[in-house]
Chain A
């Protein structure tokens, strides 16, 4: 099991650890994220990226940052799990890509970009993945309404005569 004190020696005391049920989490500032993840992969054996996702804290009580980004890591040999959390803010939410560590992050980062508009710098192919290319909003942000902004209703109607 990776000890917090070992990580704090390397990355400073800004690292905070907390847990809920059996989930163990480490909070890290965005500037040190990549170094921490690459150290977790190479020194502590977290060789699989299970999931990468984000949360919009716009309406969350007591939240200070706009977006939380979560990396769920797994050590395949020992079965140990760890969630690394970081925060990014508007107007320029961006994080370094972890494509060089886990190639499996490719589509996951594209999905977070598509849904939340968080840019992963250095990603080889950062395009929208689930929404159409010409879509302009980020649907999973809390300020995007459930019913959409009329995208489905404002399609140009092509009639037989006009085509």
Chain B
């Protein structure tokens, strides 16, 4: 009680002095370069956004300098989820590390697995079987839809549209079901292996994918009508976070973010891998460069992915899904391990660190078009069945580094729109 009174007394005494001092100093502030020195002005204030904020979806932190509601500057701080994935990649073998890669972009785990094993197979010079190529293509495209569905849904949610979020999340559940039928896991599937996948798929799975292809367009239409011409949504996203084509190239943008700025680049078309060469699809581009364009590109890519899945599922070749066991690179099927001595020896030789397969003392960079952009892996081989260095080229990291550029001079409420439109996944950002 006494303390409170004391505080009142000092406040009463000091307030007029501060006020008079401020009045005296005010005319001294130069008027013409207010803009340049605005960061130093008294009413500029700092807002700490994150690390735990609903709109960041994971843990990332922004320190925003605000003039009223206008963002003068944003300084991102990352590393809250850093767990040393690249260091772990140097200690786990090519098949084991897939469980870690899963956890990078956890919205599209299979896309990371496919990218990782794409790089490993390039290092080891493995040519996949046609069935495996088609299967991985279907799964990669399902993951692209999975990622885009969440991104579009939560962007709408952050901007006040709850319905689209629920509609899209229901479709994501169907994709989870499909992935579970194939791999036995809904989320962190660890499904791909060097030279193939864990299990082959069956007719039930193909029918489940067909059912999804049939049902999806209706939901897409619903969400399209909910959002694309929605006055509030367009007002919140159009003209926000503009990225010019020159800046996109200079800052290293890739994937939907670059394509929304008019960069016609898609690794599926430019450097075809898996079965993309045989399939017909369009590369979606937009000239807008703002959040709304990124939304449109992602929306349209959903349909293109559906088109790819539709073609691939009807043309999936028969035959083995893994490369021949004779190559000593792929694990033999479980029944043969349990029931025959040859299978057991084969399994043992692949697993044992001092046996294993031959890995060249070389380095290779291989990239795939992940939902977020170019996801590359740089592997240095050192005649061991694990990588000497396993570098990830994470698209989220590159995209988040351009965030201060995108948000400058926009409103505080646009922060969530821009964050949503570049789809930051903190686990991939920090690795």
Q: Is the pair A103, B87 in contact by a Cβ cutoff of 8 Å?
A: no
The one of A55, A59, A146 in contact with B87, judged by C-beta atoms closer than 8 angstroms, is A146
- A: number of interface residues (CB 8 Å): 36
A48 to B376, CA, bound (A): 15
Chain B nearest CB: distance from A64 CB in Å?
14
Distance in Å from the Cβ of A57 to the closest Cβ of chain B? 9
**Interchain CB contact under 8 A, A60 and B388:** yes
C-alpha spacing A37/B374, complex, angstroms: 22
Distance A59 CA – B398 CA, assembled complex (angstroms)? 30
Return the chain A residue nearest B123 by Cβ.
Answer: A21
Residue in A21, A60, A107 whose CB lies within 8 Å of B122:
A21
Known: A104-B398, A131-B79. A48 touches B365 (CB 8 A): no
**B249 pairs with A53, CB closer than 8 A:** no
Chain A binder among B29-37, B134-142, B337-345, B389-397: B389-397
A30 within 8 Å of B (CB atoms):
no
Across the interface, name the chain B residue whose C-beta is closest to A76: B249
Partner of A48, one of B249, B362, B401: B249
Please name the residue on chain A nearest to B271 by beta carbon.
Answer: A79
Q: A20-B362, A76-B265 are in contact. Are A107 and B378 (CB under 8 A)?
A: no
Contacts of B270 in A (CB 8 A): 79
Report B236-270 residues with CB < 8 Å from chain A CB. 249-252, 254, 263, 265, 270
The reply to whether the CB of B364 lies closer than 8 angstroms to some CB of chain A is yes
Whether A55 touches B122, Cβ cut-off 8 Å, given contacts A50-B393, A104-B251, is no
Give per-residue flags for B88-100: 1 if the beta carbon is below 8 A from chain A beta carbons, else 0. 1001000000000
Q: Is the CB of A47 within 8 A of B249?
A: yes
| Contact A132–B79 (Cβ < 8 Å) | yes
A49 (CB) vs chain B CBs: closest residue: B252
- Tell me if B430 is interfacial: C-beta within 8 Å of chain A: yes
The listed residue (A53, A60, A62, A130) touching B430 by CB distance below 8 A is: A130
For A76, list chain B residues within 8 Å (CB).
249, 263, 265
A49 to B374, CA, bound (A): 12
Quick check: is B170 within 8 A (CB to CB) of the other chain?
A: no
Considering only residues 55-69 of chain A, those with a C-beta below 8 Å from chain B are 55-56, 59-62
B166 to chain A, nearest CB (A): 35
B28 to chain A: closest CB distance in Å? 31
Nearest-neighbor residue (CB-CB) of B381 within chain A = A20
Contact A51:B364 (CB < 8 A) given known A104-B250, A104-B252, A104-B398: no
Q: Give 1 or 0 for each of A92-115: 1 = CB within 8 Å of chain B CB.
A: 000000000011101110010001
B52 contacts A by Cβ under 8 Å? no
Docked-complex contact B250 and A130, CB < 8 angstroms: no
Given A61-B361, A129-B78, A146-B91, residue A103 in contact with residue B250 (CB < 8 A): yes
Closest residue of chain B to A48 (Cβ to Cβ) is: B249
B375-390 Cβ-contact flags toward A at 8 Å (1 or 0): 0101010110000110
* Residue numbers in A under 8 Å from B251 (CB-CB): 102-104
**Smallest Cβ distance from A55 to chain B, in angstroms?**
5
1/0 contact trace for A103-141 toward B, CB 8 Å? 110111001000100000000000011111000000110
Q: Give the distance in Å from the alpha carbon of A72 to the alpha carbon of B367 in the complex.
A: 12
Give the docked Cα–Cα distance between A35 and B374 (Å).
27
A130 engages B78 (CB within 8 Å): yes
Min CB gap A133→B, angstroms = 10
Return the chain B residue nearest A142 by Cβ.
Answer: B90
**Given A104-B252, A139-B84, is A53 in contact with B364 using a C-beta cutoff of 8 Å?**
no
Are B249 and A23 within 8 A (Cβ)? no
Q: Which residues of B contact A115 (CB under 8 A)?
A: 86
Q: How far is the CB of A66 from chain B (nearest CB, A)?
A: 13
Q: Does B125 contact A (CB under 8 A)?
A: yes
Q: How far is the CB of B418 from chain A (nearest CB, A)?
A: 17
Q: Which residues of B contact A70 (CB under 8 A)?
A: 378
Return the chain B residue nearest A20 by Cβ.
B362
A61-B382 contact in complex given A72-B365, A83-B365, A102-B252, C-beta closer than 8 Å:
yes
B86 — nearest CB in chain A belongs to which residue?
Answer: A140
A56 to B382, CA, bound (A): 12
Q: Mark B335-372, 1 if CB is under 8 A from A, else 0.
A: 00000000000000000000000001111110100000
B263, B376, B383: which contacts A51 (Cβ < 8 A)? B376
Q: How close is B386's CB to chain A, nearest CB, in angstroms?
A: 12
List, in ascending order, chain B residues with CB within 8 A of A79's CB.
265, 270-271
CA distance A140 to B431 in the complex (A): 13
Further pairs besides A103-B250, A146-B88: 4, Cβ < 8 Å = A48-B252, A104-B401, A130-B78, A131-B82
Q: Give residues in B with beta carbon < 8 Å to A.
A: 78-79, 82, 84, 86-88, 91, 122-123, 125, 249-252, 254, 263, 265, 270-271, 360-365, 367, 374, 376, 378, 380, 382-383, 388-389, 391, 393, 397-398, 400-402, 430-431
The 3 A-B residue pairs whose C-beta atoms are closest, nearest first, are A104-B252, A107-B401, A130-B79
- Sample (10) of A-B pairs whose CB atoms are under 8 Å apart: A48-B252, A50-B254, A55-B380, A72-B365, A72-B376, A76-B265, A83-B365, A115-B86, A130-B82, A146-B87
